[in-house]
Amino acid sequence: MNLKSRAALALAALAFSPLPQALAADYDPSVYVEETPEYTPVEVGSGWYLRGDIGYNVNKSPYDVSFNGTDSEGSRINGGLGVGYHFTDYFRGDINLGFLSHDKYNWTNGIDAIRAESNIWSGMANGYFDLGTIAGFTPYIGAGVGMLHSSRKVDDTFLGISERDTQYAFAYSLGAGLAYKVAQNTSVDLGYQYVSAPGLEYFDIPTGSMEKGLDYHQVRVGLRYDLW
């Protein structure tokens, strides 16, 4: 090999020797990482609550009578169960089924007899405004509408009356109270409620006539559990 050929080979080697390093330096592929969608937990039952109440009817039932020397028997204890929802921090509503009163009257003089029995139930939809919470105490006011169901039977041999009757009548309620949170999801409720059914008929034992209009003044204690 002559001198000219050796010089050409040396120049060729010198020209191509940096090419791999240059290519390696220029090639920098980007790395694509697929983003994982953010996981958002779903709250099951958020805003819903369960409630139970027991109460006392302050005023007398129309069947709570003393007539002909005989007193009627009955209970002023009432109660109910319901489910509700917190629409906002200050407004909530619930639906309740409750028992209002049970009364029974039995009288006889050995010849004539008067026997009467009444049971009254309620189904109400209520709304409440919570007026803010201070030290765990939340005062509220409320109102509701619904129906009363009355089952009544009367047998009066003296007046010749024998009657079996079932009624449904429109009712409304007004109330106020104070709730106290005893645990994270649990509140105790003390309140007053007025329930009225202006169109509900009842049998007036002393006069032996049908009258219309029942109302109840109630003191109630309840327990509310939030399903958070």
- For the chain, count helices (H), then strands (E): 2, 11
Note whether 180 and 220 are within 8 A (CB). no
pLDDT digits (tens, 9 = 90+) for 4-13: 555 555 545 5
The predicted structure's pLDDT at residue 155: 86
pTM: 0.72
Q: Does domain 48-226 have CATH number 2.40.160.20?
A: yes
* Eight-class DSSP state of 41: P
Structure-block tokens of residue 99: 């028992």
Listed range (35-39, 46-50, 70-74, 200-204) with the worst mean pLDDT: 35-39
Show me where the domains of the chain are located.
Answer: 48-226
| Cα atoms in the 13 Å half-sphere on the side-chain side of 63 | 26
Tally the residues of the chain: 228
**pLDDT (tens digit per residue) in 22-59:** 445 555 555 555 565 565 554 545 799 999 999 999 98
> Which DSSP state fits 126?
E
